[in-house]
Structure formats: C-alpha cells, structure tokens
A and B are shown apart, each in its own frame.
Chain A
Amino acid sequence: MTLLRLAALAVIALGVLVALGPRAASAPRTEGPLPHEVTIVIHYSRFTPSVVEVPAGMPITFTLRNDDPIEHEWLIGDDAFHARHRAGTEAVHGDRPDEVSLPPFATRTTTLTFAHAGAVTFVCHFPGHEAYGMVGILTAK
C-alpha cells in the first residue's frame, strides 16, 4: 500500500516538474558557462537578442536568421570597423566571418573567436537600418 502511495506522489511530482519545465527553461540565464553557440533572429528589422555575452578566446558559432522579407546584414566589430562600413561601398558581404549578408528569410552561420575580453557591436549598415535600431552589443568575457 505504501508503495502505491509513493507512486501516486511521484506521478504528481513528476507531472508538476514536466509542466513547469519549459517555463523554467525559458527563464533568463543567470549563471553557468557562457555559450559557445548563439542564435540571433532578425524580425521587423531588430536583432533578438541585442545583448550577447560569450567567452573570450573560444570559437563562437553564430546562427543568424533573417525572418524579414528584406535584406539585412550582420557586421560585428569595433568603432573603427563600423565607421569604415558606414562609408563603405560593398554591396554584399560574405567572405569574412565578421561580415554576413542575409537575404530575405535566409539563415547563415559564422564562427568567430574574440581573442580578448571586451565589447563590440553588431550592426546592419543598410541605409537607415542602424538608425532604425539594428544595433546590438556583444561582450566577450
């Protein structure tokens, strides 16, 4: 009889855990190792997430998903890098891992290693997109 009661309590506990599990998993990460894989989604010309933390000195794989019907780009670097691209003339990027062109509804991956701790920004430099808010910040720790 005791075994049956224990089994019943176990079923209840397991069910509650399973039910709450997805919500718990969706909560913001507050502890633990920094990710080596990062997915950034573009929707309505916004980066999500727009704030990213990764470990320094480790290869980081970025999955970049453009959910918009218009072209975007994901260029990551320091201020001098972005100043160059604001005045740049390259129509398409793709040969460098820190410069990714994203056609409508396209997904691209790129891998980068941030040798030193510090912050850089990722920006879409299509006309008007940066001013519209297509800016994110990545901090390597």
Chain B
Amino acid sequence: MKRLLLALPALLVAMIATSSAALGCAGLIGPNGAVNLIRTTTFAGYHDGVEHYVTSFQFSGGSGQFGSLVPLPGVPTKVERGGDWTLQRLVRETEPIRATSRFALGPLGAAGASDAQVLMTAKIDALDITILKGGGPEVGRWATEHGFRLPPDAPEALDHYAERSPIFMAAIFDADAAKARGQRVGDGTPVHLTIPLDAPWVPLRILALGKDATARVNADVYLLTDKRPALLPAPRANGMEITHSAAATASLLGDLRSDKGMGWVPQDAWLTKVRIDAAASQLRYDLAVDAFGRPPSRVAAGLEPPATPAAPDTTLPSALLLTAITLASGGALLFATRAARRVA
C-alpha cells in the first residue's frame, strides 16, 4: 500500500493578480500592494495511487486579489474545501513550540500560444480555483489574461513543469470577498485536491520564482509513507535538510484522519520532514519521492529533462544527406560516362 503525505508550507508561488493594467515601468507597487498574503500552504497526501493535496491560503487583510499558480503532478478528479487542522497538526507534531511562528509572510513574486484547457473550476470561500492543462506558453497566457503578473523567470519555469506534467492549479484569492465573509487576518482557506497518480513529486524550484538569486527560500515538506522514503536530490545538499524522520505517532495519524477528507490516512506510517533553507539560485530542483525506497526519478527531481524523442538536427544531417545524394548522383553520372566510353 503506497501512501504519502506531503505538507509544504509556502510551496505555492503567489503572484499579484489585479484587475488594473500591468505596470510598464519599474518602481511601482500594485494597487493591492498593501495586501499581504501571509502564507500559502499546501499538503498532498498519497494513498493507493491517489494523491491528496490540501492547500491553505492565509492573508493579513487589505483588499484586492492575489493569485497562485501551482504545478500539479496529475489531473485532479475532485476539488473541494479541505480540512481545518491538517497543516497545523503536522507542524505541531514536529515543532510544537515554534508552530505559530511558521506562518510568517510568504514570498510574493514580482508580480501566441493556443488556449490552455480548463479542466475544472471550483469556488471555495473567497478562492476561485481553476485546473488548467497546457504547455508553459498556454498556461502563461491564461494567467496573464486573467491578471497574473508573472515574473521574468516564469516562462522558463512554466515550460520546466509543463514538460513533466501539463497540469496547473490557478487560484485567485479575493481579499475583499474574504473580509465580506468575516474572515480575519490569519484565517486560512484550505483546498483539497484528489489526484490519481503513479509517482509523486513536490515542486520546489517554483519557490524561487521571481526572487533574486541571493534571496532565501524557506519551506517545509512533510512526508508520510509506509516506510522510510527515498528522496532525490539527497537531503543536506542544496539547502535541503531532514529535520524529522520517525514512525508517525498514533496520535498524529488519528488527528489527521479525523479531519475533513482525511479518512484515507493509514494506521501506520513513517513521518519525514524536509526543511528547505536555500538561496533562490540553489533551488534548481524539485523533490522526487519514492514511497517504497526505490531510486526516485531524476526527471521528477528536475535533475534531467524528460525522455522525449530527440529533435532532429535539421541542418547538418540534411546537408550530409543532400551531399551523399549528390555524390551518388555524380558518381552514377561518372559511371555512365565511363560505361559510355567503353561502349564507344
């Protein structure tokens, strides 16, 4: 039985989404610049070939809209409101004293192709969720047309993820609607995605989107597996560190299982916490996980490109082919010349 639970605070990359015009000159702050997205938090659970993502959006007030664009490893079959305490319970399990401090201000990114395919939409409290399928250009265009101000490194990053899975979740958080609903600063809106999947991976590289090379990226990844998982890249390299690795307590599993939509949590599991504390320039990888301890995929880890048919080099082979054909033709003519001479 495969099972995996990933908790990834601040995994999502937040990008400013406003209805006003994109800003053409530097030095400007968006109309919603005063609105702070405290943290965008994500969980993903994996059990019997189905991954469960639980994402929580929190904000610190203000007005306007925020957007997040999240690479997903597969197509969700369900998008619904998530449970209320899964994230907090996991944090408390591994860092009971510092739990509240973990919800600091999350990073905000500075804020042609055919259309991306909209697979699913859902409205959860003040969040508008759209599941998209498409390549980097299609998803990027969709995001731009829907008010996202993508940072300059977004086109390459979107291509990177689309080559691995052309599925993205776009989430637009309406702070005004949140206030109208009575949500207070620090309140979160959890979202639960159910994703049938063979091999999970956690996007980490996108955490550096829109950041200066020296900016720090901090994130926590929780894994819950049947046994100790294999990870790639290896922790303790490039800003990764395992800060917790032990059998999950019955108390934790029971608490998780009692949350909304978390009934899939197994009776026994291994809990691993990976902490990311890296410079943005270091974060050129994702986290590939194998719940059975086998070597994880280097492609999923972002360490090598997907195995696609090599694009033919249309220049040199064509030239060589044409040269060969020409030489053969010329040779045939020479042969005909000599043959004709012998006949004469």
Contacts and interface: CB of A to CB of B under 8 A. Distances in A.
Contacts of B139: 69
Contact of A69 (B110, B136, B337): B136
A87 interface: yes
B307 interface: no
Nearest to A15: B326
Interface in A1-31: 1, 4-5, 7-9, 11-12, 14-16, 18-20, 22-23, 26
Given A1-B340, A15-B330, A19-B322, A68 B155 contact: yes
Given A69-B139, A127-B110, A87 B26 contact: yes
A45 B153 contact: yes
Interface stretch (A33-41, A48-56, A89-97, A110-118): A89-97
Contacts of A4: 333, 336-337, 340
Contact of B144 (A88, A90, A104): A104
Given A11-B326, A69-B137, A134 B152 contact: yes
Contacts of B210: 128
A96 to B, nearest CB: 13
A43 B158 CA distance: 13
A12 B326 contact: yes
A45 B23 contact: no
Contacts of A12: 326-327, 329-330
Nearest to B23: A91
B141 to A, nearest CB: 4
Nearest to B16: A127
Interface residues of A, number: 50
A79 B336 CA distance: 69
Contacts of A85: 25-26
B344 interface: yes
B101 interface: no
A19 B326 contact: yes
B25 A125 contact: yes
B311 interface: no
Contacts of B140: 68-70, 104
Interface of B: 21-28, 110-113, 136-141, 143-144, 149-156, 158, 210, 212, 315-316, 318-320, 322-323, 325-327, 329-331, 333-334, 336-337, 340-341, 344
The 4 closest A-B pairs by CB, nearest first: A105-B112, A15-B326, A69-B140, A8-B333
17 contacts: A4-B337, A9-B330, A11-B330, A15-B325, A18-B326, A68-B137, A69-B137, A69-B138, A73-B24, A87-B26, A91-B23, A105-B137, A124-B152, A126-B22, A126-B24, A127-B110, A130-B26
Interface of A: 1, 4-5, 7-9, 11-12, 14-16, 18-20, 22-23, 26, 43-45, 66-71, 73, 85-93, 101, 104-106, 124-132, 134
Given A15-B329, A22-B319, 13 more contacts: A15-B327, A19-B320, A44-B156, A69-B113, A69-B137, A73-B24, A85-B26, A86-B26, A86-B27, A91-B24, A104-B144, A127-B26, A127-B27
